[in-house]
Structure 1
Amino acid sequence: MSHYHHVCSLEDLKKAQTLGYEIEDHEGFLVMNNTNVLAYRNSCPHIGMNLEFSENTFLEPDGRYIQCAMHGALFEIDTGLCIHGPCLNQYLEPVQVKVEDDQVLVSI
């Protein structure tokens, strides 16, 4: 049975656009795309490395794609599909996320 854990306020995520988190042994990140809140495991499907360039920096400079810092793989924000790089056509692992009372929670 999965349990939801608080990560941040919706307002904090809106300001940052992406936020990394670690809960127990689970590393993931949140991304705000328009009004959608999405969450993925912080692991590139290529070799399992963390994705971010620096703390809470998961997007390429234009902010249109999630980018792996190791080999530059690009992933669609809404689907997690790799569209460029060594893990082409593979997906980031999604994490269940919900917003309650303007607080963002993830399931682990």
Structure 2
Amino acid sequence: MITLCHIDDIEEGKTRGFELSGLSVIALKKDGVIFLYENRCPHLGLNLEFQPDDFLNYDETYIQCSTHGAMFTLNSGECVLGPCKGESLQAISYTLFDDQIMLTEPLPSSAAS
């Protein structure tokens, strides 16, 4: 397992980006629940953020791709608007251990072995 961060390092209603082991990760906390996705739009495979840690649309209700404006739900990563509608962000499995977010195998295939 790979340690991502402490659970309190992600603020409620906010996103953070992480780069580790060849994997770019979006972490967000909504209603106390952590969601992790690969930072990769299913449309063109590009990173999603506008600026570091800035993945959300203006009213913070969707993850938004900065390239073509695709909108992804926070709790499932499904694209509901944009060129990849119906596709989803790649969710990343994790477990909590001593309040540390630990990525579990298998990691998305874009991660370095």
TM over 0.5: yes
Distance in structure 2 (CA, Å) of the matches to 1:52 and 1:96: 21
Gaps of 5+ in 1: none
Identity of aligned residues (%): 33
Distance in structure 2 (CA, Å) of the matches to 1:100 and 1:14: 18
Q: Does the 8 Å contact 1:39/1:106 carry over to 2? A: no
Amino acid in the other structure paired with 1:5: I
Once superposed, which parts of structure 1, at least 4 consecutive aligned residues long, lie more than 6 Å away? none
1:48 is the counterpart of 2:49? no
Between 90-99 and 46-55, the greater mean CA deviation after superposition: 90-99
Amino acid in the other structure paired with 1:17: K
Gaps of 5+ in 2: 108-113
Could you say if the C-alpha distance between residues 70 and 103 of structure 1 is closer, same or farther in structure 2, counting changes exceeding 3 Å?
A: same
Q: Does the 8 Å contact 1:58/1:67 carry over to 2? A: yes
Query: In the alignment, which residue of structure 1 is the partner of 2:110?
Result: none
Distance in structure 1 (CA, Å) of the matches to 2:7 and 2:42: 28
Query: In the alignment, which residue of structure 2 is the partner of 1:31?
Result: 28
Q: By how many angstroms is 1:14 displaced?
A: 2.0
Q: By how many angstroms is 1:37 displaced?
A: 0.4
1:57 is the counterpart of 2:54? yes
Q: Secondary structure at the match of 1:7?
A: strand
Q: By how many angstroms is 1:61 displaced?
A: 1.6
Residue-pair matches, total: 105
Counterparts in 2 of 1:1-108, with a 5 A limit?
4-14=1-11, 17-107=14-104, 108=107
Distance in structure 2 (CA, Å) of the matches to 1:98 and 1:71: 32
Between 64-73 and 18-27, the greater mean CA deviation after superposition: 18-27
| TM-score (normalizing by structure 2) | 0.86
| TM-score (normalizing by structure 1) | 0.90
Q: Secondary structure at the match of 1:14?
A: coil
Distance in structure 2 (CA, Å) of the matches to 1:37 and 1:60: 18
State the Cα RMSD in Å: 1.4
